[in-house]
Amino acid sequence: MSALTNGVVQPISEGYFKIPPEARLAIFSPESRPAHKELIVLFTAAITPMYKEVNLNVPNLPQFLEGTLGWILNGAENDLQRNSAKLLDLFSDTSINWDAAKGVGLIPGHDSILTKQNHAVVKILYAQKYVAAILPQTIAGSVDASEPTKQVAYLVALSGMIKSAPKATYMAELPSLIPLLIRGLDLPDPDIRRNVIETLLAAAEGETPEKSLVAEHASTLVNAMLKNCLVQEMPSSSVRISALRYLAILPRIVRYDVLHPYKAQVIKDLGKTLDDPKKAVRKEAVEARCVFVPSSVYLD
């Protein structure tokens, strides 16, 4: 603690290569290097879960807290540290836009550090308020093709945000979200694809064939799920499992006359997944195929 606050790190250093006594680590100094300033993330992660009775070993606690707050407001090295909403401004930077987009999606989700168990004050409906503020801009960016780099970043952010947020926060936007989520299935990151499929699974709860939001996208969804459930196309077993689960629920939420043209191809490709190297994937493949095969026999 004292090493970070007063900058003297030599007393806590060990090893063959000693840090010279004159070396300083001034993470709160405006002249400090960016790499040093970013250590504030580790610093806050260490003190966040502490009880208020814990002695932080600083000479003047109010002054220290005031100085820390001042650094956050005025001395932060980048927008990511200042304000989570400013992450959107980083979407045009190809070196970090992917990570920034993932960060936008993670904010409304569960945090293992900022919890009530760690004595953090977690306000109710914080996720709903965040999604209400960020979702419209994220949707607009996802459909704006004028800047392809930013558009992809917005799609990444959207897929992560919807996966992390409670369903009630985006239910009203589902009709416009479905086409965007489907586009997210073409992104190369397996985690993003899994987020999209899990979101589609959550959105399918309570749907009926008569009031299906995905019926008009049946062809695209079937092809995308078949692609993502084959080990030759998708190395991530968790994505393959999610894709198979979604295929299994399609007959329950899409009318037969809409889904019937793709039945033969689905059964054929599901047969390939029965040889998947992962037992969990094979189990889902059997269940998905059982949904399609009886209906195919009856309807033919």
List, for residues 60-101, the tens digit of each pLDDT value.
777 777 777 666 656 554 443 445 667 788 888 888 888 888
pLDDT tens digits, residue range 161-207? 888 777 887 888 888 899 999 999 988 999 999 999 998 998 888 88
Q: pLDDT value at position 294? A: 63
Q: Which of 32-41, 121-130, 269-278 has the highest mean pLDDT?
A: 269-278
pLDDT tens digits, residue range 103-122? 888 887 777 777 777 777 77
The mean pLDDT value of the chain amounts to 81
Decide if 228 contacts 239 (C-beta within 8 A).
yes
Closest CA relative to residue 182, chosen from 133, 243, 137: 243
Question: Pick the residue with more confidence: 87 or 271?
Answer: 271
Q: pLDDT value at position 78? A: 44
Q: What percent of the chain has pLDDT over 90?
A: 34
Q: pLDDT value at position 243? A: 96
Q: pLDDT value at position 2? A: 64
Q: pLDDT value at position 15? A: 67
Identify the residue whose tokens are 């295929």.
247
Q: Using the predicted structure, report yes or no on whether residue 13 has a pLDDT greater than 80.
A: no
Q: Cβ-count burial of 141 within 10 angstroms (0-12 exposed, 13-18 middle, 19+ buried)?
A: buried
pLDDT tens digits, residue range 224-247? 999 999 999 999 999 999 999 999
Question: Pick the residue with more confidence: 294 or 29?
Answer: 29
Sign of CA dihedral 279, 198, 200, 145: negative
pLDDT tens digits, residue range 243-262? 999 999 999 999 999 999 99
CA angle 8, 39, 27 (to 5 degrees): 45
Q: pLDDT value at position 56? A: 74
Q: Using the predicted structure, report yes or no on whether residue 272 has a pLDDT greater than 80.
A: yes
